[in-house]
Chains A and B, each alone.
Chain A
Amino acid sequence: MILTGVLLAVIGLGLVGWFAARARARLLYTGRGSMHSMPGYHGWHMALWILVPGLLTWAVWSGIMPGLVNGAVMADPAAAQLPAEEMHRAAILAEAQTLAANPDAVAFDAKSQALAEPMRAAQTRFGFMGAALILIAALAGGGYGFTRVRARFPARTHVERAVLALLLAASLMAILTTFGIVASLLFEAGLFFKDVSPIAFLTGTHWAPGNARGVDIDGNFGAVPLFWGTIYIGAIIAMLVAIPLGLMSAIYLTQYASSTVRKWIKPTLEILAGIPTVVYGYFAALTVAPIIRDFAGSLGMANPSTESALAAGLVMGVMIIPFVSSMADDALAAVPRAMSDGSLALGATRSETIKKVLLPAALPGIVAGVMLAISRAIGETMIVVMAAGASARLSANPFDSMTTVTYQIVQMLTGDQEFNSPKTLSAFALGLVLFVVTLILNIIALRVVKRFREAYE
C-alpha cells in the first residue's frame, strides 16, 4: 500500500522536476545561441534524473521486501509452531498476508491468525523504510539533475541517449519474455522427463495419461498418436484446403483481378484472418462436423463420430487461407514485371506465364508462406478442442476423431489437477515439442524468404 503511494509520489516529483528545470532553463536563455539545448530538454533531463533512480529503487525494494517481511515474521515467537514443510508453510504465510491486509477476514487456519499481527507490523515497518529509500534516491537524483541546468550543458544529447535506452529496453522485453517462456518450458519438461523416458514419450504409440500409475508409467505416455493427429489435421488436411485455395486466390488477385475487384476481395479475405478462432471452433463443431458425420454415414461407415479430423482440418484450412494467400501474394508481387513481360513478349499466354515463369520464381516465397501457415495450424487450439475429439488414435481415416498436441495440453492443464504428477507435467513436454517444431519451421521459412529477397535485389 505504502509502496504504491510512493510510486505515485515519485511520478509527481518527476513532473515537478520537469517544470522546475524548464523554468530555470528559461531564465538562463538570453537569446539565440545562448544555450546548447532548449529548455524542454532540460525539463526532460531533470525528470529522468528523478524518475530513473526513484523507479529503480522502487523496483528493487518491491522485489526484496516480501523476503524481508517473511523473515521478520518467521522471527516472531508465533512462527515457531509453523510446519516445516515448505508448501504448507507458504500457504499459511499467504493467508496471514491476506489477513493482514483485511482484518475482517475469517482465518481458515488458526496459525495464520496468530501471524497476522506480526505480518502487519513488519509490512508497515519495511514499507516505510522502502518509501524513505525511494524518496531519497529520487530527491538525490533530482538534486543532481538540477545542478546540471546550465547554458552549455548538452541536455539534448543526454535525453537522446535515454530515449535510445528506452527503445532498447522495449525491444529486449519481448526477447526476455521469450527466454522466460523457454526456460519455464525446459524446466517443467525436465521434471516430466525425470519420470518418463524421452524415448518412450517420442516413440510410444499409446497415450493414456489417466492410466499412468506406478510401474507402467512409460507405456502410457507415448505421444506419437498426438503428433500424428496434429500433423494429419494441421499439416495435411488443412493444407490440402489452404494451399490450393490460397494460392489460386493470390494468383487471381495479383494477375487477373481488376483493381476494383481486388479492392473488394482482398479486405474480405483478410476478414477471415480476423475471426476469433473460437468462432471457427464452434462453426467446425456445430455446422461442419455434423455434415461430415452424415456424409460418412452415407458412405457406409458404421457409427461415424461427430468429431472428426476432417471437420477440424477443413475449417482450419479455411482459417489459414488468408495467411497463405497473403504470403503468396507478396511472393508473386516480388517477381519483377520484366519476367512476365519477357514471357508475354515471346507469345506465351497469361496462364503459361504464371505456370512457367511466375510460380517457379515465386516458389521460395510461397514455400516459406506455407511453412509459416503450417506452424500456425499445428499450434492452433480452439478448433481442434471443439471439433477433433479427444481420442489419441493412430488412424488415416479422416472421419475418425483424433486428438492433437494442443488439445492434450488444454486437457492436462485445465480443471483440478495435481501439479506434480507426470500427467500434468506432460503438458510441458508436449508444449516443448510444439515449440521446437514451430521454431524450426519459422527459422527455415525466414531463411528461405531472405535468400529469395536477395535474389531480386
Chain B
Amino acid sequence: MTETKLTARNVDVFYGPKKAIDNVSIDIDNGIVTAFIGPSGCGKSTFLRSLNRMNDTIAGARVTGEILLDGEDIYAPTMDPVALRARVGMVFQKPNPFPKSIYENIAYGPRIHGLAGNKADLDVIIEQSLTKAGLWDEVKDRLMDAGTALSGGQQQRLCIARAIAVSPEVILMDEPCSALDPIATAKIEELIDELKENYAIVIVTHSMQQAARVSQRTAFFHLGNLVEYGETSEIFTNPREEKTKDYITGRYG
C-alpha cells in the first residue's frame, strides 16, 4: 500500500528569463523508488532540485506552481527552506564529503538540528546511519579518518549515511552513481533498494538500465516537459509515447 508523499502541480522553473521546466505535474509515492530519466539538459535535475528548494541557492532561479509535501506547500511563505531540507535530503552526483573525519561528516546534520542529546546518542545515530548505508563494517575502526580518504563508492555511501542521519522523509539522488565504477554502483543500487522501505526515494539517472533495475516508477523528461510517467515495467516494455520509445530504444539522447 503506497501513499502520496510529494505532489507537484503545474510547476514551472525559470533560470532568469529561460524556462527550464514547463508545467510539470507529478505524484511521488512513499515506499518506492521513482526514477527521472531523459537526455542531458531535459530539466530532470532542475526539477529534482526544486523538490527541496536547492534552486533557491542559485541566483535568478524561480519556481511557480505548487509542490506539496504531505499536503503542505513547500513554497509557502511560512515554510522554512532550511527545515524543509532536513525533511527532504539530497545526495549529489559527485560524492561531496566535507573535509572532516567520517564521524564528523555524519555528526554534522544531527548536531545542527539538535537530534542528539549527548555523545552516546550521537554515537548511536552515527552507527545506525552508517549501518543503513552499508558502510559501518568497512569504517567502524577508523571513524576519525578523513572522509575524503575513502574510495569514491565509499564516499558516496558516506554521503547517503550523512543524509540519513538527519532522518529525512524523502531522499533525492542526483545521478548518484555517475562518478562510480560498476562495483560501487551495484552496492549503491542495492542500498537504494533497501532504503526504499523507509523513505520516498527519487533518483535522477542517465542510465536506463539503472532506472529499470532500481525504480518502481519512471518519469521521462524531455525539453523541460514531463513526457510520460508510469510504472517502470510499463515504461520500458510498453511506452505510450513515441518520444519515450525513441529514447529508451536509444534513438536519441
Q: Which A residues form the contact surface with B (CB < 8 A)?
A: 258-259, 336, 338-349, 352, 356-357, 360-361, 455
Contact = CB atoms under 8 A, between A and B. Distances in A.
Contact of B166 (A340, A342, A346, A352): A346
B36 to A, nearest CB: 17
Contact of A341 (B57, B100, B109): B57
Nearest to A455: B99
A258 B100 contact: no
Contact of B86 (A342, A347, A361): A347
A342 B98 contact: yes
B85 A352 contact: no
Contacts of B166: 346-347
Contact of B82 (A336, A340, A347, A357): A347
Q: Is the interface of A mostly helix, strand, loop or mixed?
A: helix
Interface of B: 52, 54, 57, 59, 82-87, 89-90, 92, 94, 96-100, 108-109, 112-113, 159, 162-163, 166
B112 A344 contact: no
14 contacts: A338-B94, A339-B96, A339-B98, A341-B92, A342-B159, A342-B162, A344-B57, A345-B92, A346-B109, A347-B85, A348-B82, A348-B112, A360-B100, A361-B99
Given A338-B94, A361-B98, 18 more contacts: A259-B59, A340-B57, A341-B57, A342-B92, A342-B98, A343-B108, A346-B86, A346-B89, A346-B109, A346-B163, A347-B82, A348-B82, A348-B108, A348-B112, A349-B82, A356-B108, A356-B112, A361-B99
Contacts of B87: 347
Contacts of B85: 344-347
Contact of B89 (A258, A259, A345): A345
A344 B53 CA distance: 10
B108 A346 contact: yes
A348 B57 CA distance: 12
Contacts of A356: 108, 112
A344 B54 contact: yes
A346 B99 contact: no
Nearest to A338: B96
A347 B89 CA distance: 8
A345 B82 CA distance: 8
Given A336-B96, A338-B96, A339-B96, A345 B163 contact: yes
A357 B109 CA distance: 12
Of the candidates A343, A346, A360, the one having the most CB atoms from chain B within 10 angstroms of its own CB is A346
A348 B100 CA distance: 16
Nearest to B111: A356
Contacts, number: 66
B112 A347 contact: yes
Nearest to B85: A347
Contact of A346 (B57, B59, B100, B162): B162
Contacts of A346: 85-86, 89, 108-109, 112, 162-163, 166
Contacts of A258: 59
Contacts of A352: 112
Q: Is the interface of B mostly helix, strand, loop or mixed?
A: helix
A356 to B, nearest CB: 7
Of the candidates A259, A343, A352, the one having the most CB atoms from chain B within 10 angstroms of its own CB is A343
Nearest to A345: B90
9 residue pairs, one from A and one from B, having the closest CB atoms:
A347-B86, A338-B96, A345-B90, A347-B85, A346-B109, A342-B96, A348-B112, A349-B82, A361-B99
B45 to A, nearest CB: 12
B87 to A, nearest CB: 8
Nearest to A259: B59
A398 B159 CA distance: 50
Contacts of A347: 82-87, 109, 112-113, 166
Nearest to B56: A344
B168 to A, nearest CB: 9
A356 B54 CA distance: 19
A345 B49 CA distance: 10
A343 B104 CA distance: 12
Given A346-B162, A361-B99, A341 B54 contact: yes
Nearest to B57: A344
Contacts of B100: 360
A357 B100 CA distance: 9
A342 B158 CA distance: 12
Contacts of B108: 343, 346, 348, 356-357
Nearest to B159: A342
A338 B159 CA distance: 12
A353 to B, nearest CB: 9
A352 B86 CA distance: 14
Contacts of B86: 346-347
Contacts of A361: 98-99
Nearest to B113: A347
A310 B20 CA distance: 56
A336 B162 CA distance: 18
Contacts of B54: 341, 344-345
Given A346-B86, A346-B166, A349-B82, A338 B59 contact: no
A341 B53 CA distance: 11
A341 B98 contact: no
Contacts of B52: 345
A455 B149 CA distance: 11
A357 B98 contact: yes
Contacts of A338: 92, 94, 96
B164 to A, nearest CB: 11
A412 B86 CA distance: 65
